[in-house]
Structure 1
Amino acid sequence: MATASSISAASAALTGLRRTRARAARRRAIALIVLVALTAALFVIDLAYGRKFYALDDVARVVMGQDVPGATFIIGELRLPRVIVGTLCGLAFGMAGVCFQQMLRNTMASPDIIGITSGANLAAVVGIILLKWSGLPLSALAMAGGLITALVTSGLSWKGTIAPSRLILMGIGLSAALNAATSWVLIRGDQWDIQAASRWLTGSLASSDWTDVPQLAAILIVTAVPLMLLVGQIDVLRLGDPMARSLGVRTNAVQTAVIVLAVLLLSSATAASGPIAFVAFLSGPIASWAAGPSKPPLAASGLVGASIVLLSDIVAQHIPPTQLPVGVVTSVIGGPVLIILLIRLSRKQTLI
């Protein structure tokens, strides 16, 4: 009887586990469907809405390559590249942010907070003001700046492995130094270069064009696919390095790969649009809330990031009396959220 009851209890527990996993899978699927629909809706609204509102059938015809008098140039040459770049940047910011947060087991471990964005910013400002670069060379310089900053931060926090708390503290300190260096470079520029660099530092889609799309899309594909394959191992890293190693995860190799891939994602997006504040920071927590506490919500975070950027772009263009850079709107949204999160974390004493 004892054996039979044990088997029955084990069977019931297994059935309960399967049901829990099925519910979690349904929740993830529903969240992804909703986020895809939301991103698509904002994409279309951003294309159609402006000083002149275009009907949805006109938007669809232009997107499919048809010539629509009065709409082809406005939608196809002005709005469409801006919206595509905004979507791709949002995807990149969201996925890069959640990778760091999940790997380092801390919501505060966003690239905005730990200095990686500041490194890309400094490199881009140097390129704009001192080297007079633009286009692809400037993008490559910004990516190199972000990657070097990540490597320096990782090296300073290294204790046989990457120590999350040390990396966050080192990143915050390095970010302050890099921001000071950026300000020093800015004051050395002439009026026009300072305006261009300041507009870029705010985070703007105003200068987006078709030349930004191929390189951004290529980097997104090249980096997102390996990250998707590493999702399971990133999830195990949340258990801590000793436990992850006991489960067969090569922690140092996985952490290095995730850092390099996520920094390339972040830096490529930053090079295209400037540092759109708080998108990388907000996307992960929102996606985790929507998709549930399961594996790192990489796709969901990317979609949340794209939705934030598109919604902020719509607001920035049409709500204020004058058009604003999209980064201003995300800062207005993200600043209070960061304060609330800091208060909650300090109460729980889990900030670091």
Structure 2
Amino acid sequence: MMNSTITQIKAGRNVRRRKWLVVNVSLTISALLLSCAMLLLGNTIYPVGEVVRTLMGETVGGVSFAVNTIRLPRMVAGLFAGIAFGIAGNTFQTMLRNPLANPDVLGITAGSSVAALIGILVLQTSQSTVSIMSVLAGLATCALIYLFAKGKSFSVGRLILVGIGIQAMLTSMISYLLLIGTQEDLPTALRWMSGSLNGAQLDALFPLILTVLVCAPIVIVFGRHLNLLELGEQSATSLGLQTDKVRLVLILSSVAMLAIATASTGPIAFVAFLSGPIAKRLVGVGFSNVIPAGLVGANLVLAADLVGQFAFETRFPVGVITGMLGAPFLLYLLIRMNRKGSL
């Protein structure tokens, strides 16, 4: 009887592992296809061979400028920003055991946005300085939310309410900064605030690429502890997990990716919010959701940018399309949680 039970458990785990691998491979292939589409499609559709020759360093008349200057930076920005938003959002949602506890709702994205707008509109600093300010502001906002939410005992519900309040305050600061901005800087700031891949430059994307390459593996390694944190503080501690240390590493890595991505592309709405739940629905339970969430985020950003460019007569920034997807999902989630008594 014991051997039969163990065999069934192993068989179930193998099924879940295969499903996890299939989903990740499928999402990776989808992201690669969308990346190729972003390189090929535009006002002019170039043959695959010419695009490949351009990427290999050969100068092809008319193709080299469009691919290397416009399409490749746009694709790289969407790919890495999507991974950053997806992993960061999933980390917060899993760690705090609430799908509403994501950087968009908690105000962390708004904190990074305020710092970035100060750098763009007030100080008129370089992109690298804006990135540094954005990271520091994101960390400071996260610390402030935790400080106000801590109280006598930690409460996820209190943290979400505090985050919503701080987000409202930061949103008013964003409105004020847009009001005092000069006429020359406002179009750039407004385009950035909507979440856009327009004007991306490879040189300016180096901090984003480096941060994702460094922080994403850290979150993936510590991601196996997220399932324990999802059980609750007492259960995780009783299982031997150093919760404070793990939580600190996950928060610092996630906020760094989130802030750099926000500084590079603007606050692309709802990607951090949608990626985790979609990935969890695809993968199921039993294995880490970090990698699938990052891949879902990349697919969302790349697909939304293609839709924004080609599906309508007017071209829309990627943040407008993701906002159209995320808002109904947020309402659905609120209704469902209210029926379950989770709110």
Q: Which category of TM-score, normalised to the shorter sequence, fits these structures?
A: over 0.9
Partner Cα separation in structure 2 for residue 192 and residue 327 of structure 1: 22
Which aligned pairs between 1:140-289 and structure 2 lie closer than 5 A?
140-159=132-151, 162-289=154-281
Among candidates 82, 92, 96, match of residue 88 of structure 2: 96
Task: Check whether the contact 2:115–2:134 (CA below 8 A) recurs between aligned residues.
Answer: yes
Return the letter of the residue paired with 1:206.
N
The 1:229/1:282 distance shift into structure 2, 3 A limit, reads same
Moved more, 125-134 or 283-292: 125-134
C-alpha change, 1:138 and 1:36, in structure 2 (3 Å) is: same
Greater than 4 Å deviation, 4+ residue runs: 159-162
Equivalent residue letter for 1:231: G
> Is contact 1:203-1:325 (8 Å) kept?
yes
* C-alpha RMSD of the superposition: 1.3
Q: 2:130 aligns with which of 113, 116, 138?
A: 138
Question: For residues 42 and 338 of structure 1, what CA distance do their matches in structure 2 show?
Answer: 26
> Which letter does structure 2 place at the counterpart of 1:79?
R
Tell me by how many angstroms 1:38 deviates. Answer: 0.4
SS in 2 for 1:257: helix
Question: How far, CA to CA, are the matches of 2:124 and 2:185 in structure 1?
Answer: 8
> 1:195 Cα shift?
2.2
- Which residue identity lines up with residue 246 of structure 1 in the other structure? S
Residue type matched to 1:208 in 2?
A
- State whether residues 91 and 254 of structure 2, in contact with CA within 8 Å, keep that contact through their aligned partners in structure 1: yes
Cα separation, 2, equivalents of 1:256 and 1:19: 35
How far off is 1:134 after superposition?
A: 3.2
- Measured after TM superposition, the shift of residue 64 of structure 1 is 2.5
Higher mean Cα deviation, 183-192 or 171-180?
Answer: 183-192
State the Cα deviation string for residues 297-352 of structure 1 (Å, max 9, x = none). Answer: 1111111101111011111112222222111111111111111121111111213x
* CA deviation after TM superposition for structure 1 residue 235, in Å: 1.2
Deviations 1:189-234 (A, max 9, x none): 2222222211111101112001123211111111112111111211
1:4 paired residue number: none
Query: Which of the numbers 54, 57, 62 marks the counterpart of 2:46?
Result: 54
Distance in 1 separating the partners of 2:262 and 2:225: 27
The CA deviation at 1:60 is 2.2
With over 3 angstroms needed to count, the CA separation of the structure-2 counterparts of 1:15 and 1:161, relative to structure 1, is farther
**Of 12, 24, 32, the match for 1:20:** 12
Structure 1 unaligned runs (5+)? 1-8
What is the CA distance between 1:57 and its match in structure 2?
2.2
**Pair 1:298 & 2:290 matched:** yes
Number of equivalenced pairs: 343
* Alignment partner of 1:335 is 2:327: yes
Distance 1:161 1:298 in 2: 28
Q: Per-residue displacement from partner, 1:164-208 (whole Å, max 9, x unpaired)?
A: 222211111111111111112221122222222111111011120
Task: Give the secondary-structure state (helix, strand or coil) at the position aligned to 2:143.
Answer: helix
Pair 1:74 & 2:66 matched? yes
CA contact (8 A) 2:109 2:259 kept: yes
TM-score by length of 2: 0.97
Q: Which amino acid aligns with 1:226?
A: I
| Per-residue Cα deviation, 1:277-312 (whole angstroms, up to 9, x for no partner) | 000000001111111112331111111101111011
| Contact 1:94/1:306 (<8 A) preserved | yes
> Does the aligned pair in 2 maintain the 1:85–1:212 contact within 8 Å?
no
- What amino acid is aligned across from residue 207 of structure 2 in structure 1? Q
CA separation of 1:184 and 1:331: change in aligned 2, threshold 3 A: same
**Distance in 1 (alpha carbons) for counterparts of 2:114 and 2:205:** 23
Measure how far apart 1:99 and its partner are.
0.3
Deviation at 1:148, TM superposition (A): 0.7
Distance in 2, Cα, partners of 1:104 & 1:314: 33
- SS where residue 192 of structure 1 aligns? coil
Q: How far has the Cα of 1:159 moved from its partner?
A: 4.7
**Overall identity of the aligned pairs, in %:** 37
Aligned partners of 1:161 and 1:252 also within 8 Å: no
Distance in 1 (CA, whole Å) between partners of 2:50 and 2:241 is 52
Task: Provide Cα deviations, 1:114-143, integer angstroms capped at 9, x if missing partner.
Answer: 110010111111111211123111111111
